[in-house]
Structure formats: C-alpha cells, structure tokens
Amino acid sequence: MIALQSSLVELIRSASSELPDDVHRAILASLLNEKKDTIAEAALKIIDRNIALAKQKSQPICQDTGSIIFYVTSRLTLDQVGFEETARTAVTEATKKGFLRQNSVDSLTGVNDGTNVGLGSPSVHFHQHRGSTTEVRLILKGGGCENVGAQYSLPNEKLKANRDLDGCRKVILDAVLQAQGKGCGPGILGVCIGGDRATGYEFSKQQFLRKLDDRNSTPVLDQLEQDIVETANRLGIGPMGFGGKTTLLGAKICAANRLPASFFVSISYMCWAYRRQGVALNPQGEIDSWLY
C-alpha cells in the first residue's frame, strides 16, 4: 500500500496544480476570441498566467481545492477497503504538503480538524470490470461552482419547460443564467437528464471525466451539447460574469432512466479551474500511465 499511497499523493498533486491540456487549450481559444482591451480579456490573461504559475510551483491552481472525488475502475480482485483507507491517508498527506487546503468542516460543530478526512471526504466511487487494469480518476471540485449547480423537476411552469428535450434545454440555459459569474466562468456543464435526485447529480458529475473536445455518441445529446454552448455564449455573461464572449467552455450531457412520475434534469457546474486527472496503476499500485 506504500506504492499506492505515493501514487495517490502524486495524483492529487497533479490534479490540484496542473490543468488538463484539453481545458487549457479551450481557455487559450477563448482568450484569442475575446474582445481586446476589455476586463474580460484581462481576466482570461490572469487565468492563463495562473495556470502556468501553479504548474511551475506545484501549488494549487485555486485555493479552494474542493470536494475530493475518486473514481476507481478496477479488476475484480482489488481490495476496496484497503484502497479507501489508503486514499484517506494520501489525502491527509497531500494536505500536509499543501496540495490541498484544510478544507473539510464538521457540519454540526463547525470544527475543521485540518485532515480533510471525514464522513464523505474523500468520496470514492468503485466500478469493477473483468479486465486486469486499475484506473483511478480524480476530480477536485470547488465550492463556488458546486453552489451554482441546480436540479429541475419537469414540467417547470415558470420556465415553460415540458418533459421533452426542449424543456431540458430551457432549464439548462436557466441554470447558466442564474449562475452568472458566481461559479468562476467560463464554466463547463455536466448534465444528467433523468435518474433520481441522487443519481442525477452523481451522473452529472461523472460527465466531468470526459475530455472537453470529445463528442457525445448519442446524436440528439451531441446536438444539445453544441446548442447549449453556442446559445450560452450568446448571452454575454462572459468570463467571471464581466460580460464577454465566452460563458461556457463546454457542456457534457448524459441520460439515465427515470420513473414515470419523475423527470429531473441535474446540472453540475465546473469552474474554469477544472481539476481532473487520472492514472492507470500496475498491480503494485505504481503509476503506469496518465489518462489525461
């Protein structure tokens, strides 16, 4: 477990301080596209400089190092109990090293014990498969963007949103409008159409494991993703809500089955500081390769 622990600490360091290339490319494209000499352009320049500095110093891109969410896809024989114990130790070690802020608070007493470990922190999602590989993906999701997530129950009379794709489009765009600049845009949406209140949000967050430049294999969802980004970028909310051309860098949408009585659309918002990383581990727990 020693090798696994150091692999997980390295995964946390990398996720916290190095923005994935696909996200960085999208930010650079939005910088080129923004109107010159505006406060929106200046904000994107600071963001670009921040990305380089964080990587160079191996320090957090954003001081809110976020909810710590591990997604583990493993061979059948992985010791899940041992893995989770090691993940908790790795989180505490990464916090001592300053890769993570002391970021986890007891909701009843308000006490922050500085370890980042407690009920629900970190959260670890296991998925087994019959192959021999083990992959660990990590998302660090800050509180500012988490707070602007939204869940709608269709039909929604106020938004004239019915139980169809157009209704989904209306509530997704409403979530973008309500978020304004509060979630540190330009943002990325992860959306789940369907599911229950818990699985809807869970699936919406799993969309953040996709790369920004991939395309949805379901044509209607692919079309909706493109349409949401295009329309959101016509709203003029812009980076940080300063006004400007780029409000969203991407939208990733999935659908899950629902009950006949329920029709939820769950929207998670990711800030531009989109911290996502992943590794493939060998049987000893060492890092074989990086996934993003």
Partner 1 sequence: MIQLTTPFTEEKIRALKVGDAVEISGTVFTGRDVVHKYLHEGGALPPEVNLRDGIIYHCGPVVMKDAGGQWQVTAAGPTTSIREEPYQGQIIRDFGLRGVIGKGGMGDRTLDACQAVGCVYFHAVGGAAQVLAECITSVKSVHFLKEFGSPEAIWELTVERFPVVVTMDSHGQSLHREVLASSTAELAKNL
- At its nearest, how many Å lie between partner 1 and the CB of residue 67? 14
Distances (CA, A) of 90 to 30, 244, 264: 35, 40, 36
Is there a cis peptide before residue 186, judged by omega within 30 degrees of 0? Answer: yes
- At its nearest, how many Å lie between partner 1 and the CB of residue 260? 27
Q: Is 42 in the site for partner 1 (CB under 8 A)?
A: yes
Complex with partner 1: residue 65 or 134, whichever CB lies closer:
65
- In sequence order, the 6+-apart residues with CB closer than 8 A to the CB of 5 are 86, 89, 90, 93, 285
Complex with partner 1: residue 16 or 134, whichever CB lies closer:
16
Query: CA dihedral defined by 111, 116, 121, 123, rounded to 10 degrees?
Result: 170
Q: Is 194 in the site for partner 1 (CB under 8 A)?
A: no
Q: Is 153 in the site for partner 1 (CB under 8 A)?
A: no
Burial 61-72 (b: 16+ CB within 10 A, else e): bbebbbbbbbbb
Please choose, out of 28-36, 54-62, 127-135, 197-205, the segment that lies near partner 1 by the rule CB under 8 A: 54-62
Complex with partner 1: residue 111 or 198, whichever CB lies closer:
111
Residues 207-246 that bind partner 1 (CB under 8 A): 231, 234-238, 240-243
C-alpha of 218 from chain center: 21
Amino acid identity for residue 116 in this structure: N
Rounded Cα distance between 252 and 272, Å, is 15
Can you give the binding site for partner 1, defined by CB under 8 A? 39, 42-43, 46-47, 49-50, 53-54, 57, 59-65, 98, 101-103, 105, 110-112, 114, 142-144, 147, 160, 170, 173-174, 177, 180-184, 231, 234-238, 240-243, 271-273
